[in-house]
């Protein structure tokens, strides 16, 4: 199975204040996100992390990566320092990736794209669930997905449910 996520911000003390995540401490935040990741992702799964993974030394980040299930790829975000990028445990690191999956061409980048061609889907992080949804643009950050990685099927189905809900509200 292939999963997507972003903006975990492990070991980043700013995240509790800036995003008002519902955790009493940074240690609780990190333990919860690790547990949610490992409940969702199996050892043989693949995860594309679309940026802003963690703060800390390369040794700390390598240890963190070893504690998380799956083969992990990093799409580099604005808060990913050299220590994160150079840590051992990444299957790959890059700023941008085009990935064909389940009949869709996915554009993977930390930052959202707009005005994509009709056959492309933009998966991104960075916005922490604050952007108004745009056609073919999906925020895969943990703030949008109950603090855990998510599959493409779930991502695409959520937009369909949201559109149906909005149509029903207009009729009522």
Tell me the pLDDT tens digit for each residue of 104-118: 899 999 988 766 667
Number of structural domains, the chain? Answer: 1
127 sits in which H/E element: none
Question: What was the pLDDT predicted at 111?
Answer: 85
| Phi, psi torsion values for 90, nearest 5 degrees | -85, 135
Question: What was the pLDDT predicted at 1?
Answer: 97
135's tokens: 């056609």
Domain interval for residue 153: 2-171
CATH of residue 61's domain is 3.60.21.10
d(CA 169, CA 163): 10
Residue the block writes with tokens 């690191």 = 93
Q: What is the CA radius of gyration of the chain?
A: 16
Question: What was the pLDDT predicted at 6?
Answer: 97
Question: What was the pLDDT predicted at 121?
Answer: 79
Lowest mean pLDDT among 6-15, 28-37, 116-125: 116-125
Lowest mean pLDDT among 14-28, 99-113, 153-167: 153-167
| Residue 170 pLDDT exceeds 50 | no
Question: What was the pLDDT predicted at 108?
Answer: 95
Confidence of residue 124 (pLDDT cuts 50, 70, 90): confident
Q: What is the mean pLDDT of residues 5-32?
A: 93
Give the predicted TM-score (pTM) of the model.
Answer: 0.89
What value does the mean pLDDT of the chain take? 88
Q: What is the mean pLDDT of residues 78-101?
A: 96
Helix (H, G, I), strand (E, B) or coil at 114: coil
Q: How far is CA 158 from the centre of its chain?
A: 15
| Residue 142 pLDDT exceeds 50 | yes
């Amino acid at each position: 199975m292939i999963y997507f996520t972003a903006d975990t911000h492990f070991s980043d003390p700013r995240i509790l204040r800036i995003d008002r995540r519902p955790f009493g401490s940074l240690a609780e935040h990190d333990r919860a996100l690790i547990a949610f990741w490992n409940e969702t992702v199996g050892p043989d799964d693949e995860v594309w992390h679309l940026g802003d993974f963690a703060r800390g030394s390369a040794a700390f980040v390598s240890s963190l990566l070893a504690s998380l299930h799956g083969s992990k790829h990093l799409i580099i975000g604005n808060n990913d320092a050299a220590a994160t990028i150079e840590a051992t445990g990444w299957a790959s690191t890059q700023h941008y990736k085009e990935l064909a999956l389940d009949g869709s061409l996915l554009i993977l980048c930390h930052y959202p794209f707009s005005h994509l061609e009709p056959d492309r889907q933009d998966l991104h992080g960075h916005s922490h669930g604050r952007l108004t949804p745009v056609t073919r643009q999906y925020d895969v950050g943990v703030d949008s997905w109950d603090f855990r990685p998510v599959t493409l099927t779930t991502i695409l189905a959520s937009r369909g449910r949201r559109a149906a809900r909005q149509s029903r509200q207009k009729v009522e």
